[in-house]
Amino acid sequence: MECNVAFSRIAPTFLFNRGADSLTRRQLSIVRKGWMPIGTGWLLRAMRRRTRHMPFDARDVIGWEANVNGWLVPDADLPNSDLPEALAVRSVAYLSAILAAFERRSTGGVMVGMASVAPFLGTGRHTASTTFWLDRPGERPYVEAVSAFEGQAVCLMRSH
């Protein structure tokens, strides 16, 4: 796992020991539906309807995957007082579960998941999002360095 300084500041020490108990029903539903290949790309099956609006682009498979697999982390049930920390926990738990589902389904390759937590338009609240793409040798990575992200907390995880 690779996180920038901002993510390390908000992530609690127990973060990496959390499991599915911190996920919402919707997140668990996405995990259960798993992955599917489309062309040379990989898609979260629950995001399939998005492909109407983002048709497969063989010229930029990594960009297509990152866009179609991107999703805001649910936060309506979380109190504002501990929102950044709770979003960090929920995001990392989701990344772990989705990457484990990919490992069970795929025939190879390394899937990368990214979680980001950031202030929302000066409202005092935070928002989080996640996305996934396959790391393809010989292609420029979608994210080259988490340290390049300023103003938001970013964490990358990779499948095994």
pLDDT-derived band of residue 78, with 50, 70 and 90 as boundaries? confident
Proportion of the chain above pLDDT 70, given as a percent: 93
The tens digit of pLDDT for each residue in 119-144 reads 888 777 889 999 999 998 888 888 88
59's CB contacts (< 8 A; 6+ apart) are none
Return d(Cα 137, Cα 96) in angstroms, integer.
Answer: 22
pLDDT of 43 above 80: yes
Q: Domain-by-domain residue ranges, the chain?
A: 2-158
Give the model's confidence band at 155: pLDDT under 50 very low, under 70 low, under 90 confident, else very high: very high
Q: Is pLDDT above 70 for 157?
A: yes
Q: In whole angstroms, what is the distance from residue 16 CA to residue 151 CA?
A: 23
Residue that wins the pLDDT comparison between 56 and 79: 56
Of the pLDDT bands very low, low, confident and very high (cuts 50, 70, 90), residue 13 is low
The rounded distance, in Å, linking the Cα atoms of 70 and 131 is: 4
Instruction: Determine the pLDDT at residue 81.
Output: 67
Helices (H), the chain: 5-10, 25-33, 61-68, 83-105
Of all helices (H) and strands (E), which one includes residue 72? strand 71-72
In residues, how long is the chain? Answer: 160
